[in-house]
Structure 1
Amino acid sequence: MDSLKALILGLSLALFALIALAPPGMLLLNLFSFSPESSTWKWLLEKGVGVLTLDSLNMALVATVTGLVLGLPLGLALGSREKVIFSGLIFFLPLAVPPYLTATCWMGLLGRGGVLPHLAHEWLGMDARSSWLGGTIGAGVILGFSYFPVLAYMVISGIRGLDSHFEEAAMFALSEGSILRKITIPLLFPQIATGLLLIFLLALTNYAVPSLLGLRTFTVKIYTYFSVFQDIGGAVVLSLPLLVICFVSVLVLHRIMNGRVFFSLQMGQARGSILRLLHTRWFKILAYGPAFLVTCTPILFLIFETGSLFNLKIAIGQAGGSILTSFLLAFFASFLIAIFAFLLGYTLER
């Protein structure tokens, strides 16, 4: 048994080195041919790091907060229901729509030349153009609109595996609101923290949205050096602070999660949360309303922009092969990642 465990661990570590460590390792080799006297290095040391770091972190943090505001109530509301198949599929749609299209839709609705500002000017004579939408805050909000289902589904999985005995015991001394704040949400902390970290990293490494809005972030600058200037060494130098930020973020999460578990087989039968607060009308409106608006608005705008459902049908028919290929690649990639992550995590923790 020990030999089998050692074999699985060795294979997992070898795959991890090949998949996760080899690509950045090859990039770092380019540093040996990179001149410290280059303009990229001087610009980075003088003012580039501060500018790119502030803009990138600001965008990622705004996306994380937006994902928290939308995803946590939605996850609590959906997780407390017995069946979430249909509603779960609806709120999965933001992950299926590329963030680039989501940004295009919101800019078309609320941007300087958008539909709503134009209507407000025509009907009310007021200037309702959203200048903030084109900055890092707007980019972060748009990315939060795209990635909030990540946190929602993490919370759903956590609340469905929750041992309600903790909540039952607290009902003798606390109100349901206090139980939610002091018992339920702390028990869901591993899922919430992991979901927020994923949103933060996805937003931090996103290229499409900041590029569309013309922002100065690490990903935009790195892509510029790779594709426009053909300067691989400069792109590698620019990627180093981004790698450090991602690595530190994972270390912080690991530090916070030290000793915490997603669930425990010793806690008894998982029955989910029993709080009636999660089933009240006002909580459902608070949870479903903003999430439904954020989910459906870009999709309806895309359908409206196609001109008719017939044009949409033609577009889907012409892109059928590409859509199928994308689904197959995503399926096989997620399948392989799940197997690899399970083997690595199981052998390390057992």
Structure 2
Amino acid sequence: MSAHDPFMSDNLPEFERINALKRMERITRLLREDPYSIRQLAEILYPDAPLVDRAWLRVQRSIQRDIERLNLFNVGIQKLGGRPPRYHIPQPAEALRDIEVLAVHAALRLMSHHSPAHNEHYHAALQKLSRQLPQSVQQSLSTLPPAPTRAQENDNLEKIAQAWMQGRTIRFEYGRSRHQAEPGCELEVYYVEVNRQNLATYVIGRELKRDAIRTLKLSRMWFVTLTDRHYEIPGDFNPASVLGGAWGVIGNTRNATTLTLRFTPDAAYRVIEGGYPGMSDPEIHPDGSIIVTVEAGLDNTGLPREVLPWIYSWGPRVQVLGPEHVRQHWLNELRAALENASINDVAKRESVA
């Protein structure tokens, strides 16, 4: 073994000697899996290294030299920002099959169609995906309908994407309007979800001020800024624990109730074929009506807020049988709607008279 061979073992302490080629192969494999700092790589490669200054520094310097050597072979190592910097070898994206391109394109088209304002990121993604489709298909694609652009929401979405991908927190104010927003929020972004009901974007993560997992609506986040504070998503975080059985973004694993609903015969078949989350098999009655139970998450007022619009959409074809507080809320809403309609009818008759 030549002492001057740059690809053989460095002059490392006796506690651990690894052939440099093997070490570089392990570093390459690790960096293809996840980003790592020099120290993190050293802890993996040399778990028994004594944490004394001189020996530990020699280990880290050896790994730093390995990364410099690997760069000579153009393996694609990228140096990520942060303190300390991390290194990563991104893998080329697997080419999508035709049906997968179509599926992603349709999903983005649906998002764009339902977005309350033109979102430039959806539009850019659609354009890139469209280029993967045959020219004959591209020509048949209609352009997005014109809509006012919400620069703030576009900018916020980009910062949230950066925060999620780079493991950096975001600071913002949160509320329905910028004048009533809660200041001083800082979030570790763990997940981004689209509400199946209104297709609005929500951000899920640990909010540092409250030290709690929160689900926050993108359109209510004001003055979003990207910080230099880094974090790692906990290994035990599971989006299903937050979103499990959700009708929108309020999952039923934290705080839920069981609704009992009766549907008339003319609605029964549509309910049975609907595939709704958290719904039981129907109890079918001789007259063709059905009774089902639905598991739904509760909001902070104790109501299954996300499932209620779906219940209202059935009009007189549904009855809420329980629980009692949800039944009373449903009845009160129907009575208020009837009273409002009656007042409008009276006002119209008086105006005509």
TM-score (normalised: structure 2): 0.18
TM-score by length of 1: 0.18
Q: Which has a greater percent of helix?
A: 1
Larger radius of gyration: 2
Bigger proportion of residues as strand:
2
